[in-house]
């Protein structure tokens, strides 16, 4: 889902693990519900009714699938299941939910969607944002989403890293983006070898928020493996036909992005949201923040990366907390019914924890949309501030299309900071991108001004008007048009 509030997640999850200066302790509060291992009582025979698939190249991985699913969008073919990973001392189990394209499953691209957090389930994207259906108020069923991204794409939602959503382990959790990317790659190999009719389709990795880390890492992993496969005749792995990466309101280059919180707080489009003294204080603290992030970028260790997360989140996010506004959409107040500001998140949990829904999905675990302990583990591993932006230049050099889009009412991963890092990115066509003009986007579907974009060669930045952190939730028609243009352009190339 979203990249959960940087301050409350970064500091709250570290509160029991590191020594925090006393002047910051009043900022620490629990943002996520605690993790739960509670299991629901469902039919065990149903849970064990799986279609099993393995690959010799991945001896520790097993794919198990249920193919007859009629939830959400009963008019399209669906698969749900798990990728099971046998470890030396523990096992991991990743949950996925796949929907065929409503238009032409045999030819339309395959799109993977990932929510962020780190620690939030991708089923939030399914049932709140871009999936084939949306949950009803109270969690009593779902309603078809006419603007789903599977209108013109085969769409798969993956709960990763481990312990997110319906994914689970009895042992150690994944604590960093690189390990998470390895598991995603193994899943893709097993799924596409099992259902090889999708193997030749154009493939796109998409996501929002902390997926600003995940998406570049997964893209780099796929391309690295593809290169290894093409250089040897002995591998039975197959090349994944990666065509594009799309990141919405992501955290990709913290060094640049953290500088622009003050600008977002001062921006007059929906504000300003803070007074001048708060904004100037934020600006005065950025040099220290910058120095700490630079240390992380240089040394890439937990010891050098955790301090920047603590200091910078307090310096740049704490002033926002007093406003009472929704940090993911500054146009409204935070909904008090849910700690993440949206009542629909509770509806999703209610729906997915119904016994009949769990029986249909072959799951027997309590669903939680976001989990604090996963966030803490990523924080303690120093993953938060790491520069996954650095893997994008070689990805662009290989001709992969990259779209960075951002709703302009989001504060936490705001459009100003996202645009800034795209302009500062050093790649082979940096000058061309910097000299390109911003163009207005008039939606063909609604006829309304939908945003503004800048592009050069295979790199694009898009500001989406009147949208917060979850662009597909706030602008469903425009987000659907956006992704269809992106994957369609990639297909033509």
**Hey, CA dihedral for 207, 210, 216, 218, is it positive or negative?**
negative
Rounded CA-CA distance 68/78 in Å is: 7
- Whether residue 148 lies in the annotated active site: no
User: What CA–CA distance (Å, rounded) separates 380 from 12?
Assistant: 12
- Considering the candidates 278, 469, 474, 479, report the single residue annotated as catalytic: 469
| Element containing residue 200 per DSSP (H, E) | none
Active-site residue flag, 209: yes
Single out the catalytic residue among 209, 479, 480, 490. Answer: 209
d(CA 227, CA 220): 11
Closest by CA position to 247, among listed 221, 192, 209, 304: 209
How far is CA 355 from its chain centroid?
A: 27
249 C-beta neighbours (distance < 10 Å), count: 31
First-to-final CA distance of the chain: 30
Q: Which helix (H) or strand (E) holds 108?
A: none
Helix axes 177-194, 211-230, angle to 10 degrees: 60
Is 410 in the active site?
yes
Please enumerate in sequence order all residues whose Cβ is within 8 A of that of 354, keeping only pairs 6 or more positions apart, or say none.
139
Query: One of 93, 410, 455, 490 is an active-site residue; which one?
Result: 410
| Calpha distance 298→198 (Å, rounded) | 40
Q: Which residues are catalytic?
A: 209, 410, 469
């Amino acid at each position: 889902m979203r990249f959960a509030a940087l301050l409350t997640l970064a500091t709250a999850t570290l509160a029991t693990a590191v020594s925090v200066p006393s002047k910051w302790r009043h900022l620490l509060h629990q943002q996520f519900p605690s993790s739960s291992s509670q299991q629901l009582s469902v039919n065990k025979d149903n849970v064990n009714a799986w279609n099993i698939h393995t690959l010799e190249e991945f001896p520790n991985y097993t794919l198990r699938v249920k193919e007859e699913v009629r939830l959400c969008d009963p008019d399209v073919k669906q698969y749900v299941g798990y990728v099971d990973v046998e470890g030396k001392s523990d096992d991991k189990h990743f949950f996925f939910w796949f929907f065929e394209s409503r238009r032409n499953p045999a030819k339309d691209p395959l799109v993977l969607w990932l929510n962020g957090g780190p620690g939030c389930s991708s089923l939030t994207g399914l049932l709140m944002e871009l999936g084939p259906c949306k949950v009803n108020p109270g969690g009593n069923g779902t309603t078809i989403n006419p603007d789903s991204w599977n209108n013109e794409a085969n769409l798969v939602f993956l709960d990763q890293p481990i312990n997110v959503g319906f994914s689970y382990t009895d042992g150690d959790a994944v604590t960093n983006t690189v390990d998470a990317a390895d598991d995603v790659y193994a899943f893709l190999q097993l799924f596409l070898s099992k259902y090889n009719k999708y193997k030749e389709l154009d493939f796109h990795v998409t996501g929002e928020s902390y997926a600003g880390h995940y998406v570049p890492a997964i893209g780099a992993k796929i391309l690295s493996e593809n290169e290894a496969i093409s250089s040897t005749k002995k591998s039975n792995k197959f090349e994944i036909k990666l065509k594009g990466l799309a990141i919405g309101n992501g955290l990709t280059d913290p060094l640049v992005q953290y500088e622009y919180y003050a600008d977002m707080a001062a921006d007059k489009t929906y504000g300003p949201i803070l007074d001048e003294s708060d904004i100037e204080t934020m600006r005065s603290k950025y040099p220290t923040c910058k120095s700490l992030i630079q240390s992380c970028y240089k040394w890439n260790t937990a010891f050098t990366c955790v301090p920047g997360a603590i200091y910078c989140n307090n310096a740049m996010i704490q002033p926002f907390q007093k406003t009472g506004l929704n940090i993911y959409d500054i146009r409204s107040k935070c909904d008090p019914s849910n700690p993440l500001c949206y009542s629909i998140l509770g509806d999703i949990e209610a729906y997915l924890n119904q016994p009949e829904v769990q029986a249909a999905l072959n799951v027997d675990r309590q669903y939680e949309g976001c989990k604090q302990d996963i966030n803490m583990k990523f924080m303690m591993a120093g993953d938060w501030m790491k520069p996954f932006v650095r893997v994008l230049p070689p990805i662009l050099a290989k001709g992969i299309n990259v779209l960075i889009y951002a709703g302009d009412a989001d504060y936490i991963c705001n459009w100003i900071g996202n645009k800034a890092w795209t302009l500062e990115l050093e790649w082979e066509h940096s000058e061309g991108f910097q000299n390109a003009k911003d163009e207005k986007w008039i939606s063909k579907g609604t006829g309304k001004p939908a945003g503004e974009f800048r592009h050069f060669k295979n790199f694009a930045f898009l500001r989406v008007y009147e949208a917060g952190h979850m662009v597909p939730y706030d602008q469903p028609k425009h987000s659907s048009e956006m992704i269809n243009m992106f994957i369609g352009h990639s297909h033509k190339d």
